[in-house]
Structure 1
Amino acid sequence: MKLNIGQKILYIVVIPFVLFSVVFLYSSYTETSENLMREKKLSLEYVIQTAMTVVTNHQKRVDSGELSEEKAKKLASIAIGNIRYGRDMSDYLWVNSLHPRMVAHPKKSLIGKDLSNFKDKAGQKIFMNMINIAKKDGKGFIEYVWSDKVDKDKFVPKLSYVLYNERWEWILGTGIYINDVNTTITKLLIGNFIKIAIIMTILIFAVGFVIKKNIREPLLEIASQLYNTSESVTSGASASLENCDLLAESSQEQAASLQQTVSAVEEISAMISRNAKSAEASKITSLESQKSANIGKKRVDEMLLTIDEISNNNENVIDSMKNTNEEVSEILNIVRDINEKTKVINDIVFQTKLLSFNASVEAARAGEAGKGFTVVAEEIGALANMSGKASDEIRSLIENSISKVETIVSTTTSVMNKMIEEGNLAVNSGKERAQECKIVLDEIISNVDNVNTKVGEISNASHEQATGVEEISKAMELLDQVSNVNNNIVINTASSSRELQSEAHELIEVVDKVKGMVHGAKAS
């Protein structure tokens, strides 16, 4: 159930009054309960004091000799047992001794009964506790559970007051049922509650009338004016939002186009920058190529000089080889002469052998006289044999040496002639190739010079293009920034229009809520 503003204000007024009333009733209950209980206790004390007057009067009659103590006790107990008080005259007194035994009580069955082990429903030895209070203080209150005065099978709390008479060792007591006190308090609370309810009813009607005249009707009028204003704001915000959306769409398209143009310019700038870098690199490479070509030309010139030196050295080697062959030929002639002399030695050895043989023959003829000559002849023959053998060996060695020297001279001459011929061919071929390389390198150096010139021109042009494109790029970036600023302004304006539109809708919702609060139901 939705409450209208009048009901809410009424609740705001009534609820504190109700809370105050509850606090008042609780406070009234507490205070009334304490006051009433205090009055009841005072009344109990007054009743007991009255009963004690009866006892003291009978004790005085005993003292005066008018009555015996036994007679006085009997008359006093009867008098106290017959005392009744209260609204319905149902409240009574009792008397018990310190034993404890019941001396006087409306229930005749209790008179003279031993009460030492008498307990209430809570297990409390009430009469023994009364004796303890009497001995300790002479008087006092005690709470216990006792049978109800109407329904004897029902046990309820009871408050009693006891007073001790030391001369007769009597304890006089009387009590009230606590539920009687609670009943009295409840009646008082009901009366107060009825009064508060009457006041509250009057207050509700008065507040309702004030709310209707001074709050509800002015609120409805204000809500109507707010609703009309919010409708106008919503309409204006919607129109502004549509214009902002169109302008934002146009700005975004322009920004996208500028972005594409900027990207293209940046790509062109990057490409020109790469071309400039490539031109610089090509220029450096060309310079390095020119340097390498110059070094190559220098090496070719050095190689030509070296080839000329090799050619001259080959001629010197040929002359040396010819001189060596001539010297070897002279050595060969000497060896041949030695071979001839060796033949002469062989002839001498042969003649020595022949003479030795003839000497041996002559020694044999001489007999004993020729024995010594025979020994000498034999020795000369042996020496001739050895010389012949050595001569043969020398001749054999010389013949072998001549053969080998002739072979070496022939082979060396053939090989040297071939090497010299091939060397001359290689030197001539190398010289021709070197000449060709020199011509090619000269052309390369000339071409590299031309390339360096062109590369320098390309590099300068690339730098100029890069500078121009960089200026174009800066201009495009500035345009892009301006476009972004405009786009942000449009976006912020659109956002503000949406917020205004949203706030207008919220204002309409607030107006509806105000109307709902006033009427008590959701406004449509």
Structure 2
Amino acid sequence: MIKNLTLKQKILTIVSLSLFTIVVTSFLSLMTQKEIMIQEKKEKLKNVVEVGESIIKYNYKLFKDGKISEDEAKQNAISMIKSLRYNEKEYIWINDDSKPFAKMVMHPTVPALDGKVLDAEKFNCATQIQVGVDGKEIKTDGKKNLFNAFVEVTDQKGIGYVSYDWPKPIVGGGTTKELYPKLSFVKKFNEWSWVYGSGVYIDDVDIAFYSQLKTLGSFVLLMLCLILLISYLVNKDLNEKLSKFQNGLLDFFSFLNKQSAKSVDIEIDSKDEFGVMANIINENIAKIENGVIKDNALINECVSVVNKTKDGYIKNIRIDETANNPELNELKNLFNGLLDEIEKTLEEINGALNEYANSNYSYKLNFSKNGEFGFTIDKVRILGDELSNTTKTFLENGLLLQNSANILKDAMENLTNASIQQAANLEKTSAALEQMTANIASNTQKAQIMATEAHEAKEATKEGNTLATKTVSSMVEIEQATNAINEAVSTIENIAFQTNILSLNAAVEAATAGDAGKGFAVVAQEVRNLANRSAEAAKSIKLLTDQAKQKANDGNSIVKLMIEGFGKISDKIEKTTNLVIEVTNANKEQMSGIEQINDAVASLDKMTQENAKIALDTDSISNEVLKQADEFVFEAMKKEFIGKNELINQSSSKKVQKQIVTNKFLDNKQVQKQPTKTHHKIEHKSKETNHEWESF
């Protein structure tokens, strides 16, 4: 379908698709931005309502702790929430979950609603509900009771969002007649059957959306005009250049058809692709024009040679001109070859040459001639003899090289196997020596550490004896300190209670400050949490001090027993120190001997690895030589020459003798092998040698 379109239609198609893509992408971006603005408002509502939640839970906790009655807790919570404001005029209300219609518990701006059943017609305005924070948004018929919708979403998951249409307050009092979209977030406090929440108007989101949509429309219109202008200019330029191309090619075809004496260049001097193509085409037209002239010269000479051949002249009558056309040059060569094939002698010579080309060097020319043809026949006969002798020598050398390469390959494989086995044994020996060296070094180090620690232990026992004596008097001081700690704990409990009250007041002030106080509200909550933990820690400290007092009395008795034990320990440590010193000296002597052995093994291992590497390199070379020898023999076997069968018979006899010698060599090697402590079978293949050595 696309290939049938004109260039203009293709350009318009690209422009249309580009413009459509810009419009769709921009519209989707606007829709995404609108959704982000709605989500920001939802998150802000959620944070505000959570402030009210913290106030309700705090007063409920005071009630549960028995500090205030339940009615007092409810009134305190209502009073605190009623005074909260954000964005200067937004608030939090509270209603219950009564059926069939909810009842208003507290409305900060319309106190006349407090205690009334919310079944008025104006409340039938809910347009959409969302159960939970991530629940599905469900449309309503627009006549659902607003507060029943609040109760419905909180009964299912405790929280949710409700959208509805509501008038806006007017500065100075009253509300607008028009309804505006509004969004509320509500939560439920099950212990008191309260549903509390807050709402914000979201009509500003639609205003911003339509403003950006208008801007997008203007931008798209401008882009459309710009793209159409550019498309027109590009299309005009392309049409002019294509017309020049067409005229130039038509002139060139007229020259090829011999309708004109000379071709005309395509006159496009731009730097774009058309200009580059025009230059390339002009260059090729010039080359083709020169080629046609050369082709005509060859054809004229060919006519002259044919005329001379008709008169009986053959020798030195050849076509010498060279055409630009490869096919004409081939025709010239074939015509010259035809002249060479006129004579019977030349046919015989070609027959002999064909035999040699097919690798049959035993073919003989069975006739002779005088003159130049006789000379040529003698040379061809000599050529056949030389090729036969050369091929025979080639096969002899190939067979000899093949035999030698096989012997070298077998020897290198045996040497490589032995090197790998020796390297493996040295590795085990080296590893054992390294482990032994490490163990002795570790023993020596530990013995030195033991001697040091024994000395330190002896000194420590002396200090312990002294400290034990001081501990008795410290126990008495500890008992006096615990009494003082108990008095300080009582003071901490009083401070924690006062801090809790202050953090609560700070949370209320932070909520009143709106967004600016959001961070301070978090700090106030953390302060309240710290105050509670301080009170609990104070109780724990008091319990621990009582236990410490009892433990101090027990410690008094234990210290007296410790003083007697320290004296016995000091004597035992002194004996142990002497034994550790003797062990340390013995380990040092062993360490010196093992290090000398380890150095010798390392040197031997290095030389073994170098030998194995040399063996591997030699084995690789022998494989390559054997491969080349096989190729030499294979190529020589494909040819026929004098003495071929004798060489094949001699080669078969040498292979049998070589196999006998190799078997005897391997049998002797097997007998000479001596068993080691652990026998390891090593399977070796020439092609895997490098891999095995790298693994080792």
Greater radius of gyration (CA): 1
- Ranked by relative contact order (alpha carbons within 8 Å, sequence separation 6 or more), the top structure is 1
TM-score, normalized by length of structure 2? 0.27
Higher helix share: 1
